Structure 1
Amino acid sequence: MIKDTSGQDKVIQPKVTSKLKMPLVIGTLGLLMSALVWASLGNGNNIRSIDSTDLRLATLTRGTLVRDIATTGKIVAANAPVLYSTEQGVVTMLSQPGDIVEFGQVVAQIESPKLQNTYEQQQSLYTSMESNLERAKLDARREQLRVSQVLDMAKVDLEAADRESRRGNQLIENSLISRIDYEKGKDDLHKAKLLHKHAIAEVDLMRDTLTFELKNRGLEVARQALVVKELARQLAALNIKAPVEGIIGNWLVEQKARIGTSQPILTVVDLSAFEAELAVPESYADDLGIGMDVELSFGNINVMGQLSSISPEVRNREVTARVRFNVDEQLSLRQNQRLSARVLLENRPNVLMIKRGDFLNRGGSSAYLLTDDIVHKTPVTLGARSMSQVEVIEGGKEGDVWVISGTEAFRNDETVQLR
């Protein structure tokens, strides 16, 4: 029978460290679990702490909210006419850009040989027609003299026939002439009366005819005089005159250039009246109206004006508006000078409002209310907005303090501690 190995076994006594190893592991695990549970329970009540110096606070107040639009613009002359050529020709500039000109001063001349030649031809024709009219008047007098002679001769013949008729009456009573001679005398008298009557009618007709012909000739001469007058006006218009007192703006053509009819030549700027030209975003175009007040800022000088015109078209997503204003003596304005402006759309009295801030970048649906160094996220409803203020419709009351800038550090937490 084979014996087992029990005889070879040796009893070993356990060490003290081995006895303590397992309780230590279990205790460590217990501490870790307790720490995790404590941390998980503590996180639910943890509040983020933010330095208040990085924040901007504002208090809700009541007052008049001025709804406005901030924009920029430039100074333009209210009256800056462009001068155009009236005829084809060669232009000669008599004033340089920047020169001061008076009203009616000739600033450019156009040489038009064709127009000058046409004027001289029509002037010669007018002179010839005047001579023909005078000749026609002489012919009319001559014709009137001729018919007057005919009338006078007819009158003499009538008187002679009447005299012969009376003598025939006396002779026939004494039977000194025959009946045939007596009747012949009567016929001669009747014939003389008819000739005299026709002569009178011919004189009247000739007078009317000559008057009509002279009138027509006179109308032709008058019409030709109008042609000459118009050509003279066109010649005078070749001297381009300044329509306002001011300065020469820009040459739009070169010196001695050949130009066509109605081609722009130069501009004259009236320095006595300025307007502001504003570029308003098209999103505000429907809010604009003629007569609205506009505050113009020239550095540290503010001037009030009114909208005078609004462009009906949109260019580069902007609407152009003109503002009239009274020039302050302190201002030294120049063409195209830049400025900033504020269009005052409306005044809303007794409005709960707060200053603008970056909290509007989240859409204006919530705000952070400060109470005893604790900031709470609160839903709000905002209304009209101006350059500096925002109307608060719901979510706040007068005297509340909101965080209006620096809220990005809150990371959208519901509650934040300030220190």
Structure 2
Amino acid sequence: MIKDTSQQDLVVKSTKVSWKKAVGVVALIGALGVTARAISMADTTGRSFERSALQVATVSRGDFVRDIQASGRIVAANAPQVYSPQAGFVDLLVKAGDTVAQGQVIARVNSPTLTNELKQQQAELARLRDSLAREQLEVRRETLTLNRSLELAKVTLDAAERENRRAQLSIKQNLISQIDLEEAVDDLARAKLNYQHAQQEVALGKDTLAFELAAASNLVERQQLVVDELQRQVNALDISAPVSGLVGNLFVQTKAAVTDQQALMTLVDLSAYEAQLQVPESYANELGLGMSVVLKVGASEVYGKLSAISPEVSNREVTTRVRFDHSDMGGIRQNQRLSARILLDSKEDVIKVRRGSFMNSGGNVVYRVEGEVATRLNVRTGASSVNEVEILDGLSPGDQIIVSNYEQFEHAPLVQLR
């Protein structure tokens, strides 16, 4: 007996779909679409890379400074070497690294030969001085003799003049004969002649004595010059520091035998520093004296100007010198390493982009980023600096390009970014 139809009925659940499930289904379909598009794009481009692994830079407009990178070291602008003034044995009074003041005795050379020569010449000078003193005494004696002969001749002349006057008076009074008168006249003439000769002899004698005295004095003066020069050389055996600074390299050991003009040591003047930079020879023709240089010494930046450029190329590099704008700089040391930027020229209102490894490919091709795709473009670049590259054609301000290396792209026209 059939009671009812409950066993034949089935419970049917509501088929109303929830809106949350609908949204989920749509999102899933969209994700599948994006994945399919990415797979399709990857198949088209052949390349897909992580965006985070690439360097992207934005093209901008502004002032462009063209510079080059160089490395170098701090050197002393004045680092004189000290030389031995004579052959002998040297005593070094300082050590490497010691601080010295200008004029301080830093080494002493013992030269027995030079010292002995000085003593010999000093003895010769003393002998010549004694000879000069003896000559001065002789001159005084000879001068006295000459004066006496002249005075005696004068006395004789005066006596002859008196006798002549007496004879002239006596002949008028017929007290003497004519012969006596003539004899008195002859005596007067003889006395005058003797006096004249005496005057000439005295003048000649004094000139001779003055000449001999001057010759003796000249010998003394000449010998004095010889002694002074030897004394200067002996004094120079005590070698003084030409500048204030530090003792650099020592080229000899103390008590060592040295030759004339042999280098002993180097002094470093701490009051004047310069930077010595090594610049690639490809930029040699663009360098010029007076160009501005930015140097990074440790954690600080200092400024200077090119003061010297080597005329030769060594190891494909050109050596330059940079003089600092300010001399009162602290915290720098001799041979301290540094990096520098030499500012070649500057331009205003140009399109530029950050420099990167993409320049290794020649700088004629870039990959411009548009959304998830990077497209290969031909561009024309201009001047380049350490940090930036000038864009002449192919890009506009605001464009984004990949500036990392392009070798991994293998010249693909499109690159997918994930």
Match of 2:270 in 1: 271
1:299 aligns with 2:302: no
Match of 1:12 in 2: none
Q: Which amino acid aligns with 1:158?
A: L
Q: CA RMSD in A?
A: 2.2
Kept after mapping to 2: 8 A contact 1:296/1:303 = yes
Shift of 1:114: 0.3
Q: Which amino acid aligns with 1:85?
A: S
Shift of 1:165: 1.0
Match of 2:331 in 1: 332
Shift of 1:375: 3.5
1:379 aligns with 2:378: yes
Kept after mapping to 1: 8 A contact 2:83/2:261 = yes
1:125 aligns with 2:121: no
Deviation per CA, 1:207-230, whole angstroms, max 9, x where unpaired? 222222222221221111111111
Report the more deviating stretch, 67-76 or 48-57: 48-57
Q: 1:270 to 1:102 in 2, by over 3 A?
A: same
Shift of 1:152: 0.4
5+ residue gaps, structure 1: 1-41
Match of 2:396 in 1: 397
Kept after mapping to 2: 8 A contact 1:55/1:407 = no
Task: Give the Cα–Cα distance (whole angstroms) in 1 for the partners of residues 392 and 126 of structure 2.
Answer: 87
Shift of 1:361: 1.4
Q: 1:409 to 1:266 in 2, by over 3 A?
A: closer
5+ residue gaps, structure 2: 1-39
Match of 2:31 in 1: none
Aligned pairs, number: 376
Match of 2:159 in 1: 160
Task: Give the Cα–Cα distance (whole angstroms) in 2 for the partners of residues 388 and 212 of structure 1.
Answer: 86
Shift of 1:402: 2.4
Match of 1:96 in 2: 95
Shift of 1:256: 1.0
Deviation per CA, 1:183-238, whole angstroms, max 9, x where unpaired? 22212211211211121122222222222222222122111111111111100100
Shift of 1:390: 1.0
- Could you tell me the TM-score, scaled by structure 1's length? 0.84
Task: Give the Cα–Cα distance (whole angstroms) in 1 for the partners of residues 311 and 146 of structure 2.
Answer: 76
Match of 1:47 in 2: 45
- SS of 2:253's partner is coil
Shift of 1:261: 0.3
Q: 1:181 to 1:328 in 2, by over 3 A?
A: closer
Q: Which amino acid aligns with 1:76?
A: V
Q: Write out aligned runs for 1:20-419 (5 A).
A: 46-51=44-49, 52-325=51-324, 326=326, 331-371=330-370, 373-419=372-418
Q: Which amino acid aligns with 1:47?
A: T
Task: Give the Cα–Cα distance (whole angstroms) in 2 for the partners of residues 299 and 322 of structure 1.
Answer: 19
Kept after mapping to 1: 8 A contact 2:64/2:390 = yes
- Could you tell me the TM-score, scaled by structure 2's length? 0.84
Task: Give the Cα–Cα distance (whole angstroms) in 2 for the partners of residues 198 and 379 of structure 1.
Answer: 119
Task: Give the Cα–Cα distance (whole angstroms) in 1 for the partners of residues 78 and 212 of structure 2.
Answer: 53
Q: 1:327 to 1:138 in 2, by over 3 A?
A: closer
Deviation per CA, 1:4-34, whole angstroms, max 9, x where unpaired? xxxxxxxxxxxxxxxxxxxxxxxxxxxxxxx
- SS of 2:403's partner is strand
